[in-house]
Amino acid sequence: MIINDTKLPDLPPPASTSGVIGWLRINLFSTPFYSVLTLVVGYLLWSTLIPAFQWIFIDSDWVGDSRDACTSGGACWVFITVRLDQFIYGFYPESEYWRINILFGMLALLIAALIYEGTPKRGLIAAFTLVIFPIIAFYLLYGGSFGLMLVETHKWGGLSLTLVLALVGIVASLPFGVLLALGRRSQMSVVRSFCTVFIEMWRGVPLITILFMASVMLPLFTPEEIDFDKLLRALIGITLFQSAYMAEVIRGGLQAIPKGQFEAADALGLSYWKKMGLIVLPQALKIMIPGIVNTFIALFKDTSLVLIIGLFDLLAIVQAALSDPKWLGYSIEGYAFVAFVFWVFCFSMSRYSQYLELKLHTGHGAR
């Protein structure tokens, strides 16, 4: 009798389920239908992406100062590089570019500090960013005091204007949004119905009509002596629009706070504003951050609509550059550049908000 005490070594898994072939079989060719689909889609991708890649990177021209530099038949990025300053700073005087640079440098630092979880006193930094920083930003951008040259708003443009519109829109709409959301959940029927009508009205109409309204009707509604400039009118429209959306995000956050918190605050004898300010809103705001980031993404994309009322944001300034007779025919390059810039901003923000959502979901037993 033969007894083998030593265990025989495991056989390797069959070749069809492991390694490259196994992966291909499982992921690309599992059924005949999928095999056909893989081949068709693969062919389509191959025949579009390779030429696109060549056009963008290999056959393209990057350096030069006029369209004569574009000789290799691919994308003419010279169009972008020559006008990059204008696309970023608009018609801002060149000697004052440092002001925009400092401003957005500061903003980047503040945001980095807010995102990084180890930063001490994040609450204080957030308050600074929301309250004091906008004031600094206004004096830095507009000038006219502290020995800075006055730069009128019609000279603002490009990416910096896009950022100004989006940031002012979000920061200004936050307090209105909080008030509207509280109002919509108020016990007082007049306040509640007023806030509901206000929110639903602005959410029910397209942003364009609001921008038109702000640019055409606002001058009619104010006394003749007061003259809003175009940018301010757009900002008022954007803020009205955005605060309605913000209110709904904040309402969602308020509804997520358990009833016990409200009741406990009432039991302690806190007044309405103390209850909201000390107990409810601090908890609600934390869970609302992903929602706020998402509305910010939407707003950031929507700022491109100011093109229609004649402001020169990033898209509008590129659009204007496309009709320059010296650079006719480079519309794909122009739009691709704008798309890339918007995409980088929006994609990174949406990733951040997804990360926050994941982080918030753990540790909350309720979900």
Partner 1 sequence: MPSDVNKGVAPSSKPKFWNDPDKRALLFQILMILTVLGFFAYIISNALHNLETRGITTGFDFLSQSAGFEILLHLIPFDATFSFGRTFVVGLLNTLLVSFLGVILATMLGFIMGIARLSDNWLIRKVATAYIEIFRNIPLLLQILFWYVAVLQPLPMPRQSIEFGAAFLNNRGLYLPAPVFESGFSVVLIALAAAIAATVMLVRWNRKRQDATGQRFPVVWTSIGLLFGLPLLAYLLAGSPVSWDYPALTGFNFKGGATVIPELMALLIALSVYTGTFIAEIVRSGILAVSSGQSEAAQALGLSKNRTLSLIIVPQAMRVIIPPLTSQYLNLIKNSSLATAIGYPDLVSVFMGTTLNQTGQAIEIIFMTMAVYLTINLIVSMLMNIYNKRMALVER
Catalog residues that contact partner 1 under the rule CB under 8 A: 27-28, 30, 34, 37-38, 41-42, 45, 187-191, 194, 200-201, 203-209, 212-213, 216-217, 219-224, 297, 301-302, 304-305, 307-308, 315, 319, 322, 331-332, 335, 338-339, 342-343, 346-347, 350
Residue 77's contacts (CB-CB under 8 Å, 6 or more residues apart) are 60, 61, 62, 333
Nearest residue (CB) to partner 1, 55 versus 335: 335
Nearest residue (CB) to partner 1, 78 versus 151: 78
DSSP state of 61: B
CB of 364 to partner 1, least distance (A): 18
Q: Which amino acid is at 139?
A: Y
CB of 122 to partner 1, least distance (A): 27
Long-range own/partner contacts, residues 9-18 (CB < 8 A, 24 or more apart): none
Token pair 């079989």 is found at: 25
Nearest residue (CB) to partner 1, 69 versus 218: 218
Distance between CA atoms of residues 265 and 149, nearest Å: 51
Nearest residue (CB) to partner 1, 54 versus 304: 304
CB of 6 to partner 1, least distance (A): 41
CB of 84 to partner 1, least distance (A): 18
Distance between CA atoms of residues 34 and 253, nearest Å: 43
Nearest residue (CB) to partner 1, 149 versus 339: 339
CB of 76 to partner 1, least distance (A): 13
3-class DSSP state of 66: coil
DSSP state of 12: P
CB of 160 to partner 1, least distance (A): 17
Nearest residue (CB) to partner 1, 101 versus 255: 255
Token pair 């320059």 is found at: 324
CB of 324 to partner 1, least distance (A): 14
CB 193 within 8 A of CB 199: no
Distance between CA atoms of residues 226 and 32, nearest Å: 72
Strand partners, 61: 76
CB 164 within 8 A of CB 141: yes
Nearest residue (CB) to partner 1, 71 versus 209: 209
Nearest residue (CB) to partner 1, 131 versus 298: 298
CB of 130 to partner 1, least distance (A): 25
Nearest residue (CB) to partner 1, 283 versus 294: 294
Distances from the Cα of 296 to the Cα of 43, 161, 186, 245, angstroms: 38, 16, 26, 10
Helical spans, DSSP H, in the chain: 19-27, 32-53, 78-89, 97-115, 122-127, 133-142, 158-184, 189-204, 207-216, 218-221, 230-255, 259-267, 272-274, 281-302, 314-322, 331-361
Long-range own/partner contacts, residues 38-44 (CB < 8 A, 24 or more apart): none
CB of 221 to partner 1, least distance (A): 4
3-state SS string for 212-266: HHHHHCHHHHCCCCCCCCHHHHHHHHHHHHHHHHHHHHHHHHHHCCCHHHHHHHH
Nearest residue (CB) to partner 1, 49 versus 278: 49
CB of 225 to partner 1, least distance (A): 11
Q: Which amino acid is at 221?
A: F
